[in-house]
A = this chain, B = another copy of it.
Amino acid sequence: MHFELTKDFLDDISTAVAERNTAFVNENISELHPVDIAQILDQVNQQEAQFIYRQLDGELSSSVLVELEEDIREQFLASLSAKEIAFQLDSIDSDDAADIIQDLPEYRIQRVLSHIEDDEHSGEISKLLEYDEDTAGGLMAAEYIVTNINWTIEQSLKELRIQAEETSYVYTIYVVNDENQLLGTLSLKSFLYADNKTKIKDLYRIDPIAVTPLTTAEEVAQLMEKYDLVAIPVVDYENHLVGRITIDDIVDVIKEEAEKDFQMASGISERVDDRDSVLILTRARLPWLLVGLFGGILGSLVIGSFDEQLKVLPVLAFFIPLIGAMGGNVGVQSSAIIVQAIANNSLSLDSTSKKIIKELGVALINGSVLGSLIFAYTFITGSAIKLSLTISISLFCVIVFAGIFGTLIPLILNKRNIDPALATGPFITTMNDIIGQLIYFSIAWFFFF
């Protein structure tokens, strides 16, 4: 039913390109959705991509350009003249156009903009380029549909037809006054349903949900998600309507935020995927491994300081991995719950001490269950009662400590405006591992020495 890129199809493409078979491209690729074509170009090699791209006609090639992955798009832009790029930007929304050229060198951006025929369009793109990518300004499009509060439905319809020509999607109609200040929205439903003579002012809904160009992308995402919006208006500090952000751009933000937390929790320090090069993948993975190495050395010093005890009682070493792993697991669990609540803006309004008491409750249950189990196991398999007690009490203490520590650290980081996701993954595992060994050997020392 839907296009699915297969290895076989990629092989066919390679063969066709090698034979300069333009008919193949026209029959099998040009008919696809721009998103699918972009996916093909992302997967084939550079020469093949260039060959295919040159067969696509004007509007289609612009749409494909919007959908390409950044690194592939840069290769394409490098092979096009400023005039050719400008031609591609003519038919697409200002926000997509700004995205496409934003990473070009400044002099090239200026040259591209000077080649765009419609001055209003190039002006809008140029304005959008001033905003940071991660803000509402960087996400918004300057194209939107607007009507005046003093008009009738009939007058509006005429105006909207003109505006619609420039806007690729229509979701919400914004209602402004004569100064272009946002007053509310008009749903398409009420528009369709209303009589021609009805005045907009009798029909529109006062709707205060808007953001400014400097609102962070994350905050925009939280608002749109919370209120189930498909589009959100952007206003300046005097409430003049300057743009709108649509949900498709925000879905990407929502997804990236969630993935960032996942990668952080997995010890990966930059956004990578399995198609990246070995070097990029290594660069993303080595930093947290170095933290782990450092933690491992600290751990060796902790255990090393109990050298004498280990010589007398080498059986203590057997349970080092258990203590380390459980501390790490419990810490990751408790911090993950806090990190996710912060990311979702759904953290309970309870005080920190109430949160800690709750975590204490969980830790006491988990600690009792797991401590009893390991006591039973060691006792049944013939360990001395003192050893069984050492291991089970240590495990209990480590679980309680790691749970509270894992809850506190992300809360503290968040208060200091540091990304709390830093607290999940390798950091918390490493810390709890070390402190866990300290607890374990201290309790052993207490029982035996």
Contact = CB atoms under 8 A, between A and B. Distances in A.
A330 B316 CA distance: 26
A346 to B, nearest CB: 6
A243 B297 CA distance: 60
A204 to B, nearest CB: 16
Given A262-B265, A373-B293, A35 B226 contact: yes
A189 B171 CA distance: 9
B293 A349 contact: no
A358 B301 CA distance: 35
Given A296-B322, A346-B273, A349-B7, A329 B189 contact: no
Interface stretch (A17-25, A131-139, A274-282): A274-282
A338 B274 CA distance: 7
Interface string A360-377: 011001100110011001
A151 to B, nearest CB: 15
A316 B300 CA distance: 9
A165 B307 CA distance: 79
A193 B164 contact: yes
How many copies the complex holds: the figure is: 2
B168 A189 contact: yes
A68 B3 CA distance: 38
Max chain B Cβ within 10 angstroms of own Cβ: one of A225, A251, A266, A347: A266
A33 B209 CA distance: 10
A270 to B, nearest CB: 12
Contacts of A424: 266
Interface string A293-332: 1011101110110010011001111111111111011101
Interface in A357-407: 358, 361-362, 365-366, 369-370, 373-374, 377, 399
Interface in A257-294: 258-259, 261-263, 265-268, 272-275, 278, 281-282, 285-286, 288-290, 292-293
Contacts of A290: 370, 373
How many interface residues does chain A have, given as a range? 35 or more
Nearest to A66: B228
Contacts of A7: 349
B273 A336 contact: no
A325 to B, nearest CB: 5
A402 to B, nearest CB: 11
A266 B333 contact: yes
Interface string A396-427: 00010000000000000000000000001110
Given A278-B361, A286-B369, A433-B321, A266 B165 contact: no
B326 A274 contact: no
A317 B303 contact: yes
Contacts of A362: 278, 281-282, 285
Contact of A437 (B2, B261, B321): B321
A429 interface: yes
Contacts of A104: none
A43 B201 CA distance: 37
A210 interface: yes
A288 B369 CA distance: 13
Most chain B C-beta atoms within 10 Å of own C-beta, residue among A322, A330, A340: A322
A165 B193 contact: yes
A79 interface: no
A6 interface: yes
Given A230-B230, A314-B310, A318-B304, A430 B258 contact: no
Given A169-B189, A274-B347, 4 more contacts: A170-B192, A299-B318, A304-B315, A324-B324
25 contacts: A1-B210, A35-B227, A43-B349, A170-B187, A171-B230, A230-B248, A251-B251, A258-B262, A265-B266, A267-B333, A273-B337, A273-B341, A274-B341, A274-B347, A278-B361, A278-B362, A288-B333, A295-B322, A296-B325, A297-B377, A310-B317, A316-B317, A317-B317, A324-B325, A324-B433
